[in-house]
Amino acid sequence: SAVISQKPSRDICQRGTSLTIQCQVDSQVTMMFWYRQQPGQSLTLIATANQGSEATYESGFVIDKFPISRPNLTFSTLTVSNMSPEDSSIYLCSVEDEDSHYEQYFGPGTRLTVT
């Protein structure tokens, strides 16, 4: 299994600003994923990030709003740009199990509040 850490664990930001969330994995992984979970709701996949290529975004999410970096096989960042109160959510990163390919390990999440 993989151990994932995220920074920051939570933040309160003003509208119009940007926040970069870091995701660190304790092993090298090919695929990393970013999810958003709004209060009391299920998880929504934002994008898939492979090292060495541009992230693939799901419908409703665009690179200008959620730029993603994947500089190496253990690290990724998600930036939430030009924030509004509607961006208040928990943002989670996850990685695919390299052996089974059917299991994902999730980080603890970053709780973002935009005022």
Which C-beta is closer to other proteins: that of 13 or that of 43?
Answer: 43
Residue 85 in contact with other proteins, rule: CB under 8 A: no
44 binds other proteins per the rule CB under 8 A: yes
Helix/strand/coil for 6: strand
Spatial neighbors of 41 by CB under 8 A, at least 6 apart, are none
Q: Are 35 and 45 in contact (CB under 8 A)?
A: yes
Q: Which of residues 56-75 bind other proteins (CB under 8 A)?
A: 56
Whichever of 37 and 81 has its CB closer to other proteins, that residue is 37
* Angstrom distance (rounded) from CA 57 to CA 67: 10
Quick one: tokens of 44?
């929504």
Pairing of strands 104-106, 68-72: unpaired
Question: In this chain, which of 26, 84, 98, 101 binds other proteins, going by CB under 8 A?
Answer: 101
To the nearest whole angstrom, how small is the minimum distance from the Cβ of residue 112 to other proteins?
14
Give the interface with other proteins as residue ranges (CB under 8 A): 4, 31, 33, 35, 42-45, 48, 56, 92, 94, 96, 100-109, 111
